Amino acid sequence: MSLEQAEAVQRRVQRRVLRRELHSSRAGAAITVAVILILLLAALGALCVLLALRSPLVSGVPDGLRAALAQLAGSAPPASVLAGGVLAAILGILLVLIGATPGRRRRRALPSERAAVVADDAVIANALAAEAASVAGVERGQVRVIVDRRRATARIVPTSGSDLDTDAVREALGRNAPAYGLARPARVVVADEGRVGS
């Protein structure tokens, strides 16, 4: 195997590892919902058949439920049938989409030439908060960072009586945004009321 082929294999393996680490499977949720719906519809269908055949097996079914099912099966107005069908179709489409699309974990791939590196958003938020606190000259507890899909938002509670250079904080966080896998520069929000300094 040549060096180029080995590098290509390594890149494919890294992509596969990153995909598995960044996305969660929806198979469990889809299978659970499908099994529950199948069981409910099978029970309802069996009950309707037994009621139609006037089977002695349905003698335990309350009269109110029996009358409601008979009325639904025999004389349902077209508008309610149409609404029920549309609702069932929408529910079915949603279930198919949930089952077919991958879930997203709160992690992101960090750029690296040699290895597949994945970090939790909480770890990235903590690192950005420490840096923002250092640049802003406030305690770490006065900075809260939230990392969403593309951007981090830093909320800083300034110390009363001291100036806060938000541009310096924004610039420091912006320098690190690509290294943390963020597509947009961080947003800095300064609280209206400051904290009393110690």
Q: Where in the sequence is the domain holding 145, given as residue range(s)?
A: 107-190
Same domain, 33 and 83: yes
Same domain, 115 and 157: yes
Same domain, 180 and 115: yes
Same domain, 142 and 167: yes
Per the domain annotation, does 130 fall within a domain? yes
Same domain, 65 and 86: yes
Same domain, 183 and 119: yes
List the one residue out of 140, 104, 138, 103 whose CA is nearest residue 121.
Answer: 104
Same domain, 113 and 91: no
pLDDT in tens, the chain (198 residues): 787 877 777 777 777 777 776 767 666 777 777 788 888 877 777 766 666 666 666 566 666 766 766 666 565 556 765 677 678 778 878 877 777 777 677 777 776 777 777 777 888 888 888 888 888 888 888 889 888 877 888 888 887 777 777 888 888 888 877 777 777 777 888 877 666 654
Q: How is residue 99 written in tokens? A: 């089952």
Structural domain count, the chain? 2
Per the domain annotation, does 5 fall within a domain? no
Same domain, 95 and 121: no
Domain termination site, one of 101, 122, 150: 101
Same domain, 120 and 163: yes
pTM of the predicted model, to two decimals? Answer: 0.52
Q: Which residues of 59-79 are buried (b: 16+ CB within 10 A; e: fewer)?
A: eeeeeeeeeebeeeeeeeeee
For residue 158, give the CATH number of its domain.
3.30.300
Q: What's the CA gap between 136 and 162, in Å, rounded?
A: 10
For residue 53, the model assigns a pLDDT of 63
For residue 66, the model assigns a pLDDT of 65
Per the domain annotation, does 49 fall within a domain? yes
